[in-house]
Structure formats: C-alpha cells, structure tokens
C-alpha cells in the first residue's frame, strides 16, 4: 500500500524513520533485528522470573496484578521522563521543524503528527517494562494481562496530554525560550524527586498483606486505580481509561496549538551580549585544572546534557525498588550504586572522550595523546568515584559488607565503562548528540548490548556478592573482559589518531 505523501500517517512514518536512523542505523538489518529480538525475549524471561520467583504464589490474579501494576507504575514514570525529553525535542525545538513549517501542510496535521510520534516514543518505553510482564503473565495462563497493552497506550496518551498542557502553560507564562529551559530543568528534577519518594517510602516500607509495600500500594491506589481495574478485565474501567486519555489529548491539542505555533516560529535567541569585559578574570595555566573545568563546564552549561546526566541514576532506582520485593535493601543499594556508577561513567565517557567537541584543536596541541586521554578519564571518574564512595559509606553504616561490595563494584563499573570508551571510541559530534539526546551512538547493536550487559553485570555481581552468593564474583570476572573485547573489535583504531 502506498501512502499519500503529506498524509498524517506518512508524516508519522517519516518521523519515526528519522528517529530510528538517529540511533545510528541506516537500515533495518537482519542482525539488528535478531539482536534486539533476543534482548526482548530476555526481558520477557526476566519479567516472568521476577513475577514468579519472589512469592511463588502467582496463583491468584490479584497478587499478580499487583505486581503488574507496579511495573506499570514504573512504566508511567519512565514514560513521563522520556515524554518530556521527546516533547521538548519534537515540539519545542523550532529549527528541526523548519522544513515542515515551510511546506504547504496544514499546521494541525503537523501538530498531530508530532503528537503521535511523541506518543509512540513514550509508549515504546513500555516495551521494556509493562509489556514483558504482561506477556509473561499471559503465557503463564492469564490472558487478561494482555489488557496492559491498551491500558499503557491510554497512559501514554495521558502523559502526552499532561506534558503538552504543561508546555502550553509555560509558553504562555514564560515565553518560548524560557519555557524550553524550564522544561529541561523540570525533566532533570524528576529523578531526584522520585529518589526522595523512594527513600521516604523505603523508610516506612512495611509489606502489606498482599505482598506489596505500602507506599507502592498507596501510589498505585492513587495513580493506577482505574488502570488497575482495567487490567483485571473491567471493560468499563478500560473504556473510561481510553476515553479520558483521548479527551485529554483532544482538549490539550485544541488549546495548545497556539503556543505550539508560537514556539515553532520563535528560534532560540542568544542572550544579549554581556558587556562585562572590565571584570577581571583569574587565569590559570595548570593543564589538569583547565581540562577538568573545560569538560565540566561544557556539560553542565548545556541543559540537554546536564538533564540527561541527572537522569542516568533513574534506572538504578529499579534495583532499589526490586530489592524491597526480592532481597535486602542493602543488596539492592549495592546493585543500584554499581549500576548508577556504570551508567554515569558510560555517559560522561561518551561525551568527553568520543564526543570531543574540538578534536582538531586537541590533535594539534603539543601534549601527548595519552596524557589528554588520562585527563579526560580523570574528568569522568573523579565525580563518579566520589559519589560511589559517599553512597557506599551510607550503605556500610547499615551493612559493612554490602558497603564494601558497593564500593568495589561501583568503582569497577565506572572503570570498565570508561575503559570501553578509551578502548573503542566512536567519535561523533556533540552537537548531534545534544540534538537527539543520549541515544545517538554509532556503535553496532552488539556493541551497545555488550556495554549494557557489562553495566548490568556489575550490578548483578554486586547484588549477589552483597547477599553472600559468591558466584557473583564469576559475573564480575566475565564483565571485566568486555573492555578488552571492545578494544579487539575497535574498527577505528588505525583511522583515528585524533587527540
């Protein structure tokens, strides 16, 4: 079937194709599909194991649904995060839309296409959260779990509507440029707020009669009442969810169109030139200090990068959350620390080492490349190791062994993730990096997965070792090999002298 050029579906498909290619894939190869399919199956297996393992009482649908509701809650949070990032990029980044705006397409169609793409991106997060749990539940003999699909779609629509409404309000109240900045900072603040919520609830986290913790039960009760009823097969609740989502989306789209239009027509204006040239500045000549300040200034002054940096610990919260269900808090904390350290170091390493903004400058300086790389590693590792040490100390106060494991595995994960960037840098432009957030890496799917597995491996090793399961050391041994494997696979080794 050939789609009519300029139609809504045509626009959405083009946009999704561009998003896919921004991940580094120019076409959908069989190997990419195979690797992602394997990963997807693995997620399903993990979901089934997690649902079945802890209580071994999945016989009642109510308890199973409670678990699924928790997954959905996480999914909702993740959708909210990704939704905000996607919203700012899709709706608020004027230059990206210049072509569409200059075309004779109606504005409403452009808006709807962006909103639909936004919803698809938001909903795709559920591929990794609620969907595996729902599929596993269905395969285990509870087909009603498949209702998670329409329910999560309704949630995606609500998240989209919520962020659109907020964006419209901010644009009206603050103007377009400030609204963009405010949205970035809101996105950045959300993981912190969630972290606080987790710890507050963890403190009062007595298990409820149904096996869930009180805070999750309460949160699910407030946020997920209708979706949870819909998940049990309540047709009325399901219809209500979908109706409310559609209504919210329509209302917001109806009233957000004007600020949206305004945002498209208002480019990011540079601030007025500052005439503060008389203000003295203290010059430094220490290369190490200059390098560290350069690396950190260029990250923290870029809202997109800074927000993405603050979001990295988000996934680690999953370990804390699961630890409340499956294990001790200390073991979960050790795993969370290792995971966070790995993610942070990987993110910072890719920014500072692979996405060096001015390789042409550094290539020409009379400083050995090895020293430049060392300085970059220090810029990456110093803050991560400091954070790991502080967090490990907090864990050690409750459980000294778990604190020690957290310190060792956290440092190990950070060093391994940095070593991967040093061993196999994949240079790319930081400008394109910021334009497409932190998804753009021109590594093969196998490389990407191996890095993710390595970081997860450190977290799993920490989890098991903190629980005195010594075979966790075996996992650690395996993941230590990943940077060496990456070095062996590095196709850029000869081509790049670089800095």
Partner 1 sequence: MMPEPGVPALCLADVVKRFGDLIAVDRLNLRLARGEFYALLGPNGAGKTTTLRLISGLLRPDAGRVEILGVDAAQAPERAKRPLAFVPDEPPLYGKLRLIEYLEFVAGLWAVPADAAMRRADELLGWLELDAARRELCENLSRGMQQKLALAAALIHDPQVLVLDEPLTGLDAHAARRVKDHLLALTRRGLTVLFSTHILDVAEKLAGRIGVIQHGRLLAEGRLDQLRARYGGASLEDVFLNATAAGS
Q: What residues make contact with partner 1 under the rule CB under 8 A?
A: 270-271, 273-277, 279, 281, 283-287, 290-291, 293-294, 297-299, 301-302, 357-368, 431, 495, 497-498
3-class DSSP state of 313: coil
To partner 1, the closest distance from the beta carbon of 425 in angstroms equals 14
To partner 1, the closest distance from the beta carbon of 295 in angstroms equals 10
Report the C-alpha gap between 127 and 423 in whole angstroms. 31
Report the C-alpha gap between 446 and 466 in whole angstroms. 29
In the complex with partner 1, which residue's Cβ is closer, 131 or 299?
299
CA distances from 236 to 3, 23, 62, 194, 391 (A): 35, 40, 18, 31, 46
Q: Sign of the CA dihedral 438, 415, 392, 466?
A: positive
In the complex with partner 1, which residue's Cβ is closer, 234 or 302?
302
Tell which residue, 9, 80, 119, has the closest CA to residue 223: 80
To partner 1, the closest distance from the beta carbon of 364 in angstroms equals 4
DSSP 377-408: HHHHHHHHHHHHHHHHHHHHHH-HHHHHHHHH
In the complex with partner 1, which residue's Cβ is closer, 27 or 271?
271
Q: Which residues pair with 207 in a beta bridge?
A: 213
In the complex with partner 1, which residue's Cβ is closer, 166 or 377?
377
Report the C-alpha gap between 390 and 153 in whole angstroms. 40
Backbone angles phi, psi at 292, to 5 degrees: -60, -45
In the complex with partner 1, which residue's Cβ is closer, 299 or 331?
299
To partner 1, the closest distance from the beta carbon of 427 in angstroms equals 11
In the complex with partner 1, which residue's Cβ is closer, 360 or 439?
360
Report the C-alpha gap between 127 and 68 in whole angstroms. 14
To partner 1, the closest distance from the beta carbon of 438 in angstroms equals 17
To partner 1, the closest distance from the beta carbon of 368 in angstroms equals 6
To partner 1, the closest distance from the beta carbon of 237 in angstroms equals 49
Alpha carbon 145 to chain centroid distance?
26
Which secondary structure element, helix H or strand E, spans residue 188, and what is its range? Answer: helix 176-203
In the complex with partner 1, which residue's Cβ is closer, 218 or 493?
493
Q: Sign of the CA dihedral 122, 124, 129, 132?
A: positive
Please give the structure tokens belonging to residue 80. Answer: 């909210």
């Amino acid at each position: 079937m050939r789609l009519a050029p300029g139609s809504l579906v045509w626009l959405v498909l083009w946009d999704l194709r561009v998003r896919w290619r921004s991940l580094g894939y120019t076409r959908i190869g069989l190997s990419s599909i195979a690797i992602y399919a394997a990963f997807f199956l693995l997620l399903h297996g993990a979901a089934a194991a997690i649902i079945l393992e802890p209580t071994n009482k999945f016989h009642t649908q109510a308890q199973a649904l409670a678990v699924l509701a928790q997954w959905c809650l996480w999914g909702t949070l993740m959708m909210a995060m990704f939704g905000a990032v996607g919203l700012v990029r899709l709706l608020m980044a004027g230059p990206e839309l210049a072509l569409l705006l200059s075309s004779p397409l109606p504005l409403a169609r452009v808006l709807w296409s962006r909103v639909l793409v936004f919803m698809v991106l938001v909903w795709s997060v559920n591929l990794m959260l609620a969907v595996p749990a729902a599929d596993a539940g269905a395969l285990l003999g509870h087909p009603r779990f498949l209702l998670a699909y329409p329910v999560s779609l309704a949630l995606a629509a609500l998240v989209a509507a919520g962020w659109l409404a907020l964006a419209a309000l901010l644009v009206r109240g603050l103007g377009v440029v400030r609204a963009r900045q405010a949205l970035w900072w809101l996105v950045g603040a959300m993981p912190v707020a969630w972290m606080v919520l987790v710890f507050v609830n963890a403190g009062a986290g007595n298990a409820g009669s149904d096996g869930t913790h009180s805070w999750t039960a309460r949160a699910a009760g407030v946020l997920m009442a209708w979706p949870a009823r819909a998940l049990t097969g309540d047709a009325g609740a399901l219809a209500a969810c979908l109706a409310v989502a559609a209504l919210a989306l329509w209302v917001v789209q109806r009233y957000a169109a004007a600020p949206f239009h305004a945002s498209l027509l208002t480019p990011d204006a540079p601030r007025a030139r500052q005439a503060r040239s008389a203000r003295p500045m203290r010059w430094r000549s220490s290369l190490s200090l200059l390098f560290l300040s350069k690396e950190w200034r260029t990250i923290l002054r870029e809202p997109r990068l800074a927000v993405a940096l603050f979001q990295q610990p988000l996934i680690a919260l999953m370990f804390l959350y699961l630890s409340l269900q499956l294990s001790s808090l200390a073991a979960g904390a050790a795993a969370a620390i290792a995971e966070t350290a790995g993610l942070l170091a990987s993110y910072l390493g890719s920014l500072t080492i692979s996405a060096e903004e001015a390789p042409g400058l550094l290539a020409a300086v009379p400083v050995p490349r090895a020293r430049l790389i060392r300085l970059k590693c220090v810029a990456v590792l110093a803050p991560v190791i400091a954070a790991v040490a502080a967090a490990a100390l907090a864990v050690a106060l409750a459980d000294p062994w778990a604190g020690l494991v957290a310190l060792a595995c956290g440092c190990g994960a950070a060093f391994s993730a940095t070593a991967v960037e040093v061993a196999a840098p994949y240079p790319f432009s930081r400008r394109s990096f910021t334009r497409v957030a932190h998804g753009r890496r021109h590594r093969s799917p196998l490389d990407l997965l191996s890095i993710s597995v390595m970081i997860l491996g450190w977290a799993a090793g920490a989890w098991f070792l903190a629980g005195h399961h010594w075979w966790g050391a075996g996992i650690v041994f395996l993941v230590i090999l990943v940077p060496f494997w990456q070095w062996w696979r590095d196709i850029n080794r000869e081509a790049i002298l670089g800095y």
